């Protein structure tokens, strides 16, 4: 009885670009975000306020936020790992106004992130899962008090590159913690793309025993070519938010060998097919063009299979 409408969260400008070797100028990032918005996507991750020593590709997020178009009705979440990241966002507020409302900020949404294992959490954010939750709790509270929406991420929901198989009960616990600290939604990250429909099903069923499935999103990397199958598995279980990346860009800097997210074009192709049972917004032809354009900017191949097929047709 859930609606057929699938919400796409475009993560290419963040998850995509953060792991590309080429460092892209803020002006190209701005053009990417603007084009994705005009192609009809409603949620577009615009960058991260993380340490530039850890992820140099995301330096310049302030500049991107300042210069990109803010299309009404489109959300532009940014990743925030700690209080310092939130302060960096608040420093962009229009200081001519005494109001502390988020309407003066260049975005209305942040994303906070943690993991299902201490090993990954340490590699990614230099602290254990418990420490990261303790650090994020006040960040979420302050953000919400300023009128921001807060999205949560849990990484390594299937396997961890440092500690192996992950117990779905651990994913459930961490997801519940993020919901309890005020996240409107938690995205379940198969960071290294080792999930298959059977392991993804088990994991989602476990998490959905504690958190309404309407508050869950699927975030699948495509390392083993399973991402689109995992997306369809998540949809079949009632998940209605899918993270994807234009042209299949990216990976994760702290997951060696992991490839990019499932391509936005591939997800839309499956969903917009006649009688798929699902619907999603997004202009396929425009997105195909954007996938080729940004791949060219990066000097890499477009790895969206649907994108290539549309171009060849
Ligand atoms: P730390 O070294 O423990 O932090 O890093 P610290 O508080 O000790 O500070 C060390 C230095 O970093 C200081 O600078 C701070 O000012 C600075 P210094 O005095 O040495 O010059 N610093 C910051 N600078 C800018 N922005 C900040 C910030 N905080 C501290 N917010 C920290 C801890 C969390 C900062 C670091 O580990 C970090 O930035 N990690 C980010 C990792 C990251 O961005 N990973 C990728 C995103 S998550 C992901 O891709 C997974 C996902 O896609 C889902 C999935 O697929 O699984 C979401
Ligand atoms: Mg990711």
Q: Which two tokens stand for residue 204?
A: 């989602």
Which ipTM score applies to this complex? 0.98
pLDDT tens digit sequence for 201-239:
999 999 999 999 999 999 999 999 999 999 999 999 999
Kind and range of the H or E run holding 27: helix 26-38
**Nearest-CA residue for atom 13 of ligand 1:** 51
pLDDT tens digit sequence for 248-282:
998 666 667 778 999 999 999 999 999 999 999 99
Does residue 311 have a pLDDT over 90? yes
User: DSSP letter at 242?
Assistant: E
Return the C-alpha torsion angle 134, 15, 165, 136, nearest 10: 0
110 touches ligand 1 (CB under 6 Å): no
Contact 191, 252 (CB under 8 A): yes
Does residue 125 have a pLDDT over 90? yes
Mean pLDDT of the region 292-306: 94
**Nearest-CA residue for atom 31 of ligand 1:** 85
pLDDT of residue 259: 86
User: Comparing C-alpha atoms, which of 277, 225, 272, 233 is closest to residue 39?
Assistant: 272
Does residue 115 have a pLDDT over 70? yes
Contact 213, 235 (CB under 8 A): no
55 touches ligand 1 (CB under 6 Å): yes
How far apart are alpha carbons 261 and 249 in whole angstroms? 7
Q: Which two tokens stand for residue 28?
A: 């190209």
Contact 153, 185 (CB under 8 A): no
pLDDT of residue 2: 65
Mean pLDDT of the region 100-128: 91
**Nearest-CA residue for atom 1 of ligand 1:** 126
81 touches ligand 1 (CB under 6 Å): yes
Radius of gyration for the chain, computed over Cα atoms and rounded to the nearest angstrom: 18
How far apart are alpha carbons 153 and 187 in whole angstroms? 5
Q: How many Å lie between the centroid of ligand 1 and the Cα of residue 54?
A: 6
pLDDT tens digit sequence for 25-66:
999 999 999 999 999 999 999 999 999 999 999 999 999 999
Contact 219, 188 (CB under 8 A): yes
How far apart are alpha carbons 218 and 204 in whole angstroms? 9
DSSP 236-300: HTT--EEEEBGGG----TTSTT---BPBHHHHHHHHHSTT-S-B----HHHHHHHHHHHHHHHTS
How far apart are alpha carbons 301 and 248 in whole angstroms? 10
**Nearest-CA residue for atom 37 of ligand 1:** 125
HEC profile for 144-156? HHCCCEEEEEEEC
Q: How many Å lie between the centroid of ligand 1 and the Cα of residue 29?
A: 21
Tell me the catalytic residues.
Answer: 252
Contact 159, 194 (CB under 8 A): yes
Q: How many Å lie between the centroid of ligand 2 and the Cα of residue 95?
A: 33
84 touches ligand 1 (CB under 6 Å): yes
Residue percentage of the chain with pLDDT more than 70: 95
54 touches ligand 1 (CB under 6 Å): yes
pLDDT tens digit sequence for 59-90:
999 999 999 999 999 999 999 999 999 999 99
User: DSSP letter at 16?
Assistant: I
Q: How many Å lie between the centroid of ligand 1 and the Cα of residue 50?
A: 4
Q: Where are the beta strands (DSSP E) in 116-256?
A: 149-155, 159-160, 164-165, 185-190, 216-220, 241-244
Q: Which residues surround ligand 2, an ion (CB under 5 A)?
A: 15
116 touches ligand 1 (CB under 6 Å): no
């Amino acid at each position: 009885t859930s609606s057929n409408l699938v919400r796409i969260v475009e993560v290419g400008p963040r998850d995509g670009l953060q792991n590309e070797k080429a460092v892209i100028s803020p002006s190209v990032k701005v053009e990417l975000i603007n084009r994705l918005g005009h192609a009809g996507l409603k949620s577009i991750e615009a960058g991260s306020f993380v340490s530039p020593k850890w992820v140099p590709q995301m330096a310049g997020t302030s500049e991107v936020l300042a210069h990109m178009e803010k299309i009404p009705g489109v959300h532009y979440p940014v990743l925030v790992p700690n209080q310092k990241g939130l302060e960096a966002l608040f420093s962009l507020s229009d200081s001519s106004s005494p109001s502390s409302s988020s309407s003066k900020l260049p975005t209305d949404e942040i994303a906070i992130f943690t993991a299902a294992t201490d090993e990954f959490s340490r590699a990614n954010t230099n602290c254990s899962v418990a420490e990261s939750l303790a650090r994020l709790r006040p960040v979420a509270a302050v953000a919400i008090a300023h009128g921001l929406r807060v999205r949560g991420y849990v990484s390594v929901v299937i396997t961890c590159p440092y500690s192996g198989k992950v117990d779905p009960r651990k994913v459930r616990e961490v997801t519940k913690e993020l919901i309890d600290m005020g996240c409107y939604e938690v995205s379940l990250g198969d960071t290294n793309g080792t999930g298959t429909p059977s392991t993804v099903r088990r994991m989602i069923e476990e998490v959905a025993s504690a958190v309404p499935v309407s508050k869950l999103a699927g975030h699948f990397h495509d390392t083993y070519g399973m991402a689109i199958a995992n997306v369809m598995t998540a949809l079949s279980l009632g998940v209605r938010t899918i993270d994807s990346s234009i042209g299949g860009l990216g990976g994760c800097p702290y997951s060696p060998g992991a490839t990019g997210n499932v391509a936005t074009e591939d997800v839309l192709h499956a969903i917009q097919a006649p009688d798929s049972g699902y619907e999603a917004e997004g202009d396929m032809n425009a997105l195909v063009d954007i996938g080729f354009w940004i791949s060219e900017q990066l000097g890499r191949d477009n790895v969206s299979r649907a994108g290539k097929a549309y171009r060849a047709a």
